[in-house]
Amino acid sequence: MTPIAFPNDPDQFPGEEASFALSGPAGKLETISSVAEPAEARRGVAVICHPNPVEGGTMHNKVVTMVERSLRERGLDTVRFNFRGTGESEGQHDYGNGECDDLAAVVRWVRTVRPGDALWLAGFSFGSYVTLRSAVELDADALISIAPPVARRHYEFDAIPLPSCPWLVVMGESDEVVDPQAVFDWIDSLRRKPELVRMPDTGHFFHRRLMDLRGAIKHVVQDWLPPLRG
């Protein structure tokens, strides 16, 4: 489907897949929205965040697009966007600080055009750090963290307030970028633990395991879904 070009900050959620710019704190944010099939549509929107742009991450990353597909197939409308300094988004990379502000700007738009809808946040790697940091402040209704970069430089997880919403962590046991044991130890240390899916023989980018990732997400979240849009 050919994306539709909208002006900045469209005043409604597009009725089909669309690309547009939203106003962010450092300039425009390149954004793509997609909608669930009408018969499956739920009263919720998932905002999905991409991996580290310094290492080539964008909203077109294949893990990000598989997470988006999984949630849309479960009936959620979705929003992906490029963080500041990535693709057509303006600004400069800020190691997660400004990126939290970018996410907040996108969520403000979602809540303006979809008042009353459940807000789900999902992220892969760097994107999972940003969404976890923001989940409490943004009052997320569900959180999905794929390969959170625990123990990686620049990322401080110990001081992050834990969300009270349903929370899924998916971690490959053969991740070559994020130390899987560091993630498991971190989860063990939490007073409120997420639901953890460990995927054997799976690296950071889920090569040859993307369909397994899709299945894991769809299975876990089926009990969290908001009501049908109706």
pLDDT digits (tens, 9 = 90+) for 46-71: 999 999 999 999 999 999 999 999 99
Q: CA nearest 144: which of 217, 95, 75, 44?
A: 217
For range 185-211, the mean pLDDT: 97
Q: What span, in angstroms and rounded, lies between the C-alpha atoms of 94 and 116?
A: 31
Please report how many Cα atoms fall inside a 13 Å half-sphere around the Cα of residue 185, on the Cβ side: 9
What phi and psi values does residue 211 have, to the nearest 5 degrees?
-70, -30
pLDDT recorded at residue 151: 82
Higher pLDDT, residue 159 or 84: 84
End-to-end Cα distance, the chain: 25
What token pair was written down for 22?
Answer: 């939203």
Q: What span, in angstroms and rounded, lies between the C-alpha atoms of 107 and 158?
A: 25
The fold for domain 5-221 equals: Rossmann fold (3.40.50)
Number of H helices, E strands in the chain: 5, 9
What token pair was written down for 86?
Answer: 């990535």
Name the pLDDT band for 21 (thresholds 50, 70, 90). very high
Q: Is the pLDDT of residue 3 over 50?
A: no
Q: E strand or H helix at 6, and its extent?
A: strand 5-6
Q: What residues contact residue 220 under an 8 Å CB cut-off, 6+ apart? A: 168, 195, 197
pLDDT recorded at residue 124: 98
Q: Is the pLDDT of residue 39 over 80?
A: yes
Q: Are 172 and 146 in contact (CB under 8 A)?
A: no
Q: What span, in angstroms and rounded, lies between the C-alpha atoms of 114 and 110?
A: 6
Q: Is the pLDDT of residue 4 over 70?
A: no
Q: What span, in angstroms and rounded, lies between the C-alpha atoms of 29 and 87?
A: 9
This prediction's pTM: 0.95
Q: What is the DSSP letter of 226?
A: P
For range 160-184, the mean pLDDT: 97
pLDDT recorded at residue 5: 46
Q: What span, in angstroms and rounded, lies between the C-alpha atoms of 32 and 80?
A: 5
126-135 vs 97-113: helix crossing angle, rounded to 10: 60
DSSP per residue, 134-163:
HHTTTT-SEEEEES--TT-TT---TTSPPP
Q: Is the pLDDT of residue 125 over 80?
A: yes
Name the pLDDT band for 6 (thresholds 50, 70, 90). very low
Name the pLDDT band for 159 (thresholds 50, 70, 90). confident
Q: Is the pLDDT of residue 196 over 70?
A: yes
Q: Is the pLDDT of residue 2 over 70?
A: no
Q: Is the pLDDT of residue 174 over 70?
A: yes
What phi and psi values does residue 4 have, to the nearest 5 degrees?
-95, 135
pLDDT recorded at residue 156: 84
pLDDT recorded at residue 155: 82
Q: What percent of the chain lies above the pLDDT cut of 90?
A: 92
